[in-house]
Chain A
């Protein structure tokens, strides 16, 4: 058996995770995204990831979601069923099933969205999980309303939406299925202060419901409101893991 820092409550245990990119095309170089990153995230905790641009924040989230294939290391994740899966090495089928059922991700960049209405985009994951159409749409309306997306946009195609409007659709879609683990990569970067506050409130209530989160947020106020602990990255490596209060003291 293994020793994790909090064996009974660890939701996610990242162990010496590395990611290198072999670039064959342009320069035939190797780019280091992450180097030997370890961290433990407790059930229901919010771990903020901070660091300069290019320090590996997005790479870390993508390795956890497996849109990047980790080069080395392990990510032990406690599933809803009480099993432990290594997200770094488990089969693609396992990842797909976990994404459908319990791991959500909101990307830094706005997803290309096809000709489907905002309401359908947000309710689709629920319908795919077997929730009735009516119930799924009700839930989607609730989320879009909480994120202050104007109701006249609910039936429109987000392809024409502003950055902030799209971002809210992405966030609502990820929250709709009430994931156990939510990975957030600057999901509020395009929002004005007021809508950002609404988004943060929603994330807070999702945390209160027990969702574990790993998130990148540039705004220190958001970090202060949501985070329990902070992982500081520099050049792909962990510099420090500190309680949020200690981190904020350093920033101020």
Chain B
């Protein structure tokens, strides 16, 4: 078979400059490791719990790249390590091991000191938690929850803050006249939207969405996803979206990672993963939907 050397118009992932985030060897263990936990767990072992010492290996050997403006999906069964990986990348959870290069940050992002972390979490990386109570203070007003994030980033003038809040509520389709009501009085869909407003408040470079549609009615789900897609496109923000729902992944993600027992077992273009799944687990996952 003849053929020219592969010619690429666009730079390949290893060496290009539109990589926003590159993670290598991300690992998270719960427990005091016996030293063999990673070898004794994972996809081949069929468990994320070390048979010798009982340590949970929530994530191990996870490598990934995220490009500017890209949406990367993470799917997998409950307990496969999706949230753990996502929260590590959002600097909300301490990793056991791993390195993350992040555009504009010197050194390993996971080793950022306290002050840097604080700044990054408030200005650079927005996380929408899987569990609403971890992301919002329900006794505060919706406006107060979002304002907290603005104040942490140095906003001071009341008028400016109110103006920005109005903008954010409009963008995320939360009724502006509910801004001063306690968040506990909002519907699930509104709470999710307030979380998204909070995540995008300071124009982050990275947004991590963990199960953005959990607990929402199907029709509300569609609106939240669509609203997010619009914002994502306008702001051109790089996004990681975690979901066990393949419909969400299909709608949002350009590329997708499949996790099982704390490992990434397959990755590829989202439509390729859905239509031509290679890994046994992915095939089971897709078959169970069809």
Question: What is the CB-to-nearest-CB distance from A180 to chain B, in angstroms, rounded to a whole number?
Answer: 13
Residues of chain B within 8 A of A15, CB atoms compared: 1-3
Closest residue of A by beta carbon distance from B255: A92
Contact residues on A (Cβ < 8 Å of other chain), bracket: 35 or more
Q: Is A29 an interface residue (CB 8 A)?
A: no
Given contacts A90-B8, A115-B226, contact A128 B233 (CB under 8 A): yes
Question: What is the CB-to-nearest-CB distance from A106 to chain B, in angstroms, rounded to a whole number?
Answer: 14
Q: Quick one: which of A66-119 are within 8 Å of B by CB?
A: 66-69, 73-74, 76, 79, 81, 83-86, 89-97, 112, 114-116
Question: What is the CB-to-nearest-CB distance from B232 to chain A, in angstroms, rounded to a whole number?
Answer: 11
Q: Is A3 an interface residue (CB 8 A)?
A: yes
A16 CA / B7 CA spacing, docked (Å): 18
B2: contacting residue among A2, A81, A90, CB under 8 A: A2
Stretch of A20-28, A187-195, A230-238 with 4 or more beta carbons under 8 angstroms from chain B: A20-28
Residues of chain B within 8 A of A204, CB atoms compared: none
Question: What is the CB-to-nearest-CB distance from A156 to chain B, in angstroms, rounded to a whole number?
Answer: 14
Closest residue of B by beta carbon distance from A13: B3
Residues of chain B within 8 A of A21, CB atoms compared: 276
* Contact string against A for B residues 251-290, beta-carbon threshold 8 Å, 1 for contact and 0 otherwise: 1001100000000000011011001101110011001000
Q: Is A62 an interface residue (CB 8 A)?
A: yes
Q: Is B32 an interface residue (CB 8 A)?
A: no
Contact residues on B (Cβ < 8 Å of other chain), bracket: 35 or more
Question: What is the CB-to-nearest-CB distance from A175 to chain B, in angstroms, rounded to a whole number?
Answer: 20
Main secondary structure of the interface of B (DSSP, over half): mixed
Residues of chain A within 8 A of B70, CB atoms compared: 96
Q: Is the CB of B275 within 8 A of A115?
A: no
Q: Is the CB of A67 within 8 A of B226?
A: no
Residues of chain B within 8 A of A251, CB atoms compared: none
Residues of chain B within 8 A of A95, CB atoms compared: 269
Residues of chain A within 8 A of B4, CB atoms compared: 1-2, 76, 84
Residues of chain A within 8 A of B283, CB atoms compared: 23-25
* Contact string against A for B residues 201-226, beta-carbon threshold 8 Å, 1 for contact and 0 otherwise: 00000000000000000010011011
Q: Is the CB of A25 within 8 A of B250?
A: no
Q: Is the CB of A97 within 8 A of B223?
A: no
Q: How many A-B contacts are there with CB distance less than 8 Å?
A: 95
Q: Is B78 an interface residue (CB 8 A)?
A: no
* Contact string against B for A residues 114-157, beta-carbon threshold 8 Å, 1 for contact and 0 otherwise: 11100000000000100000000000000000000000000000
Q: Is the CB of A16 within 8 A of B1?
A: yes
Q: Is the CB of B219 within 8 A of A67?
A: no
Residues of chain B within 8 A of A76, CB atoms compared: 3-4
Question: What is the CB-to-nearest-CB distance from B288 to chain A, in angstroms, rounded to a whole number?
Answer: 10
Closest residue of B by beta carbon distance from A79: B9
Given contacts A83-B9, A96-B70, A115-B222, could you give 11 more A-B pairs where the C-beta distance is less than 8 Å?
A: A1-B4, A67-B269, A67-B276, A69-B276, A84-B4, A85-B6, A85-B7, A93-B10, A94-B8, A96-B255, A97-B9
User: What are some 19 contacts across the A-B interface (CB < 8 A)?
Assistant: A1-B4, A15-B3, A21-B276, A23-B283, A24-B279, A25-B283, A25-B284, A25-B287, A26-B287, A66-B269, A67-B271, A85-B8, A86-B6, A92-B13, A93-B18, A112-B247, A114-B225, A115-B219, A115-B222
**10 nearest interchain CB pairs?**
A24-B280, A115-B222, A67-B271, A68-B276, A83-B9, A25-B283, A94-B10, A91-B12, A74-B3, A2-B2
